[in-house]
Amino acid sequence: MPRSLAPILCPFLGLVLTAQPTPYQKAPKAIQAVLDAPGTPSLIDSPKGDRFLLAEFERHPSIADLAQPMARLAGLRFNPTSRGPHSPQRLKGLAIQGLTGTAKPVALPAGVSLGQPRWSPDGTRFVMMSATPKATELWVGEASTGKLRRIEGVRLNAILGNPLDWMPDGSLLCKTVPAAQGSVPKAPEVPLGPRIQETEGKAAPAPTYQDLLQNAQDEVRFEFLAQSQLVRVDLATGALKPFGKPGLYGNVQPSPDGKLLLVPRIQRPFSFLVPVSHFPVREEVWDRSGAMVHLASDQPLAEDIPLEGVRKGPRHLHWRPTEPATLAWTEALDGGDPKRKAEFRDHVLVQAAPFKAAATELIRLKDRMQDLDWSESGDLAVVQEYDRDRKWTRTWLVNPAKPGAARLAFDLSSNDRYRNPGSFVSRLLPNGQTALLQQGGGLFLVGRGATPEGDRPFLDRLDPATLKTERRFRCGEGLFESPAFLLPDGRFITRRESPAEAPNYVLHGAEAKAETRALTAFKDPLPELRKIQKKLVKYTRPDGVALSFTMYLPPDYKAGERRPAVVWAYPMEFTDASTAGQVSGSASRFTTIGGMSHLFFLLQGYVVLDGATMPVVGDPKTVNDTFLDQVVASAKAAIDKADELGVIDPKRVGVGGHSYGAFMTANLLAHSTLFKAGIARSGAYNRTLTPFGFQSERRTLWEAPDMYLKVSPFMSANHFNAPILLIHGEADNNQGTFPIQSERLYAALKGNGQTARYVTLPLESHGYSARESIEHTLWEMIHWFDKHLK
């Protein structure tokens, strides 16, 4: 360095060398105490119904956990070293408890991160995957003793889905890392050539998928890492029996009799445009030696699936759970294209081994098949279809012995919360298959039980002969109690809570009005939160659409005070005003706060209008033409109602939302003067970057350019009416919400002299999970509204 420049440059060089990134900020101590509090353990019931596991999971991993290796290939994210999920779920505590007696803690091994337990079909054992820095291991627990042990020699490969499935004899079918695979192929230091893609004039619109393969080296790496070897594991002895050759296997399904396997094998050519779910796949049926005995399906690369459409050919292949070896699947009759006119769109087919006879049709559907389940008696199939034009759902009951003679059980709008019949209850069968639970021939449904006064969960029994339902249980008033498990003898377990009562599990008798008995006695970990007041508030938009929010008042609130307020919302589309105005949620729940929740504003003295409904009502084809008018009208109605109640200062109201709620927030700041500031997390703000549709929008950018530009807050960056805080995970993999969305909006706001702050969170995806990220997010949110509202 020339002597004359040294005095000038050296101070600046020192600044560069010593510069440090902004550290993570801590949330206020009151919030830290809430984040530290334990949550309610999950209850995992044994298939026999004689005992259950109580599992408590780590709520907030550290940023160091997120910093573990991550591969982003073929639309997947995984740890390339362990061949398991990136940042997997981790058990914090585990206990076993019978229907009588107290919980017995299970000693968790030191230094081992165990995941979600899964019961064996006979209820004698449970298995878990564990994540280590180098492998995903298999652990088994004995139900009688709670003792855990690792199965030696098993290194699981969970990249292409669940690596574990039960065989009818109680052994475990596993996908494992091939023993002699060698080292991961290294990328060449010098590029070997350009990346070339070409279209031959055939339309292939696609959503904005993320984490796709980028080049030939990605293809090689994906093919190497996702390869697995199938192995049968005897859990009693630990004996391992490999079969077949290593390959790219999806979710392998043993047949109910255990003699055959349905083996999906991913094939080349791969794609740079779509994720692995669209890659070529052969659905092969193997015998237990690993020999193919039948080719069920051979699907080519599917880069041309229409928007909101489905793949051509067989899809959702699976075994009928109560037949020895009968395959069932769905096929499109309209080429998979929802815009093509067709009398029928789907049909369901079945074919029994040895697959010599032609497949038979179980049912033909006018709309798209949405769900298919089988009863444990084997004499019923429950088929649900969805009409996307009307947003309508129909549920059919079919006797497989009488194909074509389907009976309509439910017929209603998919948005109709008040008439929603609930979801069918299933159970794990002794053969390892899952089927709909039956008692006395009846099927069971569990639902949220939405009412104009809030949710009141229920348990119903459906008589397949009459198609009539009988109510077995309904949550009482003033509390929130939801069915959790139905036991084989007709008794059932609920999760009960109220504004003053911590959640606990309760055993109910099989007969109506039978006595109940508490199974757990978890205490309130945060009594100070009981001072928070909440109330369901209903009101009406000027156009007559009914609206609602849950009003939360802070612990130190005094009657007559007008406090600064936070409106937190997420817009939803509806085809009619009657369902748009239906109430969801309940004010009778036990108040808990966690993660990056906006309810933490309560501990800082704000009133929170939570879940303020923002319905966008209209024809599904054109509903977004009035998006702006409707969300502005809904927001004004919410503020007016809270002002009328005398609890907020209408001149000091902030608005916030996450994902599509962030899109809403930016538009409210750009197209109204209702709010003093806004917080938008992980949103999309320039709809030209999602040109083939967004949310439920069916038109492309080229079909409705004016609407795309009108609803893009990026296009209004020159006249935002209030400051905005933008927060985005740097590793966001949600369709449409690339981090560049926030980056470009911030640049546009800055260039136009608007007030904005832009925060990116390293290693975080669409939702934020690390404790450091959560505390920093809360710190940013609180300081932003304190600055602009208080």
Catalytic residues, by residue number, are: 659, 732, 766
DSSP 491-512: -EEEEEEETTEEEEEEEE-SST
- Compute the distance between CA of residue 400 and CA of residue 499 in angstroms, rounded to an integer: 47
Q: Are 127 and 121 in contact (CB under 8 A)?
A: no
> What is d(CA 434, CA 426) in angstroms, rounded to the nearest whole number?
7
Please tell me the distance from the alpha carbon of residue 491 to that of residue 488, in angstroms, as a whole number.
7
**Chain centroid, CA 53 distance in Å:** 23
Q: Is 135 helix (H, G, I), strand (E, B) or coil?
A: coil
Distance CA 746, CA 756 (A): 7
- Which residue's structure tokens are 């759970």? 321
What residue has token string 């040294």? 6
Query: Environment class of residue 628 by beta-carbon count within 10 Å: exposed (0-12), middle (13-18) or buried (19+)?
Result: buried
Rounded (5°) CA angle 306-312-313: 170
- CA-nearest of 515, 521, 513, 472 to 496 is 521
- CB neighbourhood size of 202 (10 A): 7
Helix (H) or strand (E) holding 779: helix 771-788
DSSP-based three-state secondary structure for 94: strand
Residue 625 is given by DSSP the state: G
Token pair for residue 138? 């298999």
* Cα gap 102→684, rounded to integer Å: 49
For the beta carbon of residue 785, count every other beta carbon within 10 angstroms.
26
Amino acid letter at 315? R
DSSP letter at 631? H
Are the beta carbons of 156 and 419 closer than 8 angstroms? no
SS3 417: coil
Beta strands in 557-640 (DSSP E): 563-568, 572-574, 607-610, 615-617
Q: How would you classify residue 378: left for phi > 0, otherwise alpha for psi between -120 and 50, otherwise beta?
A: left
**Is 237 in a helix, a strand, or coil?**
coil
Longest dimension (CA), the chain: 97
| Adjacent-strand bridge partners of 385 | 369, 394
Dihedral pair phi/psi, residue 36, rounded to 5°: -80, -20
Contact (CB, 8 A) for 232 and 181: no
